[in-house]
Structure 1
Amino acid sequence: MSKKSPAKAARRAQNSGAVRMLARGGYVASGVLHILVAWLAVQLALGQSSGQADQSGAFSAIAQAPGGELLLWAVAVGFAALAVWQLATAALGVPNAENQAGARLKSLAKGVLYGVLAATGAQYAQGSGGSGSSEESMTARVLTMPGGPWLVGLAGLVIIGVGVYHVVKGVRKKFLRDLAGTGGGAVGPVVVRLGQVGYVAKGIALGVVGGLIVAAAVTADPSQAGGLDEALHTVRDQPFGTALLLVIGLGIAAFGLYSFARARFARL
């Protein structure tokens, strides 16, 4: 009987109307974060940066807004519900998936990611956000481990792969599989375009992040590593970087708007 209890708990979570409603709220929270990151990226491009152009900067912006603490708790709850949903899907299987093992692994990774975002939102709500280790210090620790450069390089290649996946998903409109009602035309062309632009822009940003991590592994220099903020700085410093960064920022904003639509149309 105890062996069946985890599966029963996962099934209850997946069938819970409250979890589904809160999970849709998680997509709204994702949209808010992406739009704030996009705004910070645009400010960076225009030389008016007021914070890190990444998720920590977005959480900080929410914290400083009127009612920020309440908003952060709402964001944390939404991401927590998405984490529960994805983990339950990973445990029970993904309906109609051609590669069930791959689909479960993908849901597991998403569940972990949303769980981290929920924990981060809760930390900022409690006033303790931003105290964690940076990507650079984490890379430095890994580089000192046996085989550390190989591990860091592998992590960078994985992130590049995720970036390529996002670009392909956007170009080929594979994200439509995540939405309900696409066959009947309930999802309009504006949502489709936002998804295409958003996934491509996010994929490019992830690719640059992965490239920085690979560079750190090759040179054994943790200062080469960095997260999204460092990646966007790198883009800005290239020839025509300001224009490219503006395009990426607008693309990330498009992904944020797509996330709002996904809160309505997501298959849950």
Structure 2
Amino acid sequence: MSTSATSSPRSGTSGDIWEKAARAGYAVSGVLHIVLGFLIVKIGFGANAEADQSHALASLGHNPLGAVILWAAAAAFLALGLWQAADALRSSEDAKDRAKAGGKAVMYAALAFTAASVAMGSSGKNGDQQAQGFAGTLMQAPAGRLLVGAVGLGIIAGAVYHVVKGARQKFLEDLRALPGHEHLGTGVKGLGTVGYIAKGVALGVVGLLFVSAAVAANPDKAKGVDGAVEWLLGAPGGPVVVVLVGLGFAAYGLYSFARARYARM
């Protein structure tokens, strides 16, 4: 992605309203991941909670300014989604970067829709119900089980990407240099490393559950992040692992605040 306004097809400067709104999307994502991390940690300690984006967003609305916060979150996610979509359409980007930007555009647009739905009072489906509905729809298509399995393998590939990106600290390529902020740079490296690896672990379990659904021809076995946390909870050392994953999600949230300020746009 371009690091200067002169090489960007967007109007205005690098500090224009669109860029500021898109950067706010990273900050809102940070808040969302911190809330998700808190919910996951609660589950690790035995609390009855659901760790999905709808519930995390709903928890942000439990205050007098809740509707305002949710609508602001929806607007920020939409701005970031449109920014990524613009990058996906840029002919100067290589195919790999355009595909990544396109995937992010869809993800942030979905978050904008979810935030707006919660703001309008819709509880909607939780992450597990959405995953099961998606898997069920795919299974009704020709070669449906293969499609569900392919989705699972794709999610696992994404999980490996997150783990590698965290372990090798390749996420630093997404940020501008931090001159004069050596301590901040060290903190960002640690938060990003832990955060990306934790997200990779959770996504890897989601992918395995989709593959399991394909093998069993049972869409109910497909799960979202909440189902992945439940699966981890039942594994050896599960509560400890779940707490660590929750702390990792929170770390990713804190890293997202740095990304909101220093991201290459």
TM-score, structure 1 normalization? 0.90
**Equivalent position to 2:105, from 89, 111, 121:** 111
Which letter maps to 2:27?
Answer: V
**Equivalent position to 1:165, from 149, 161, 176:** 161
CA contact (8 A) 1:162 1:203 kept: yes
**Equivalent position to 2:69, from 56, 68, 71:** 71
Which letter maps to 1:198?
Answer: G
1:251 corresponds in structure 2 to 248
RMSD between aligned alpha carbons? 2.0
How much does 1:24 deviate?
1.0
1:204 corresponds in structure 2 to 201
User: SS at 1:92's partner residue?
Assistant: coil
1:124 corresponds in structure 2 to 118
User: SS at 2:46's partner residue?
Assistant: coil
Which letter maps to 1:49?
Answer: N
- CA separation in 2, counterparts of 1:14 and 1:158? 37
Q: Does 1:140 align with 2:145?
A: no
Which letter maps to 2:18?
Answer: V
Runs of 4+ in structure 1 off by over 4 angstroms are 13-16, 182-187
- CA separation in 2, counterparts of 1:89 and 1:168? 24
- CA separation in 2, counterparts of 1:28 and 1:94? 27
- CA separation in 2, counterparts of 1:61 and 1:145? 36
Deviations along 1:203-258, whole A, 9 cap, x unmatched? 11000000000000011011211100000000001111000001111011100000
- Identical-residue share of aligned pairs (%): 45
- CA separation in 2, counterparts of 1:101 and 1:66? 45
- CA separation in 2, counterparts of 1:173 and 1:146? 41
After superposition, where does 1:212-227 map in structure 2 within 5 Å? 212-227=209-224
How much does 1:91 deviate?
1.2
- CA separation in 2, counterparts of 1:13 and 1:123? 31
Q: Does 1:262 align with 2:259?
A: yes
**Equivalent position to 1:156, from 141, 152, 155:** 152
User: SS at 1:238's partner residue?
Assistant: coil
Looking at both structures, which has the greater relative contact order when contacts are Cα pairs under 8 Å and sequence separation is at least 6? 2
1:239 corresponds in structure 2 to 236
Q: Does 1:45 align with 2:44?
A: yes
Query: Alpha carbons of 1:185 and 1:77: their partners in 2 closer, same or farther (altered >3 Å)?
Result: same
Task: Name the count of aligned residue pairs.
Answer: 255
Query: Alpha carbons of 1:93 and 1:43: their partners in 2 closer, same or farther (altered >3 Å)?
Result: farther
Which letter maps to 2:138?
Answer: V
**Equivalent position to 2:174, from 175, 178, 186:** 178
CA contact (8 A) 2:192 2:252 kept: yes
CA contact (8 A) 1:14 1:88 kept: no
How much does 1:136 deviate?
1.1
CA contact (8 A) 1:40 1:49 kept: no
User: SS at 2:236's partner residue?
Assistant: coil
Q: Does 1:29 align with 2:28?
A: yes
**Where does structure 2 lack aligned partners over 5 or more consecutive residues?**
1-7
TM-score, structure 2 normalization? 0.91
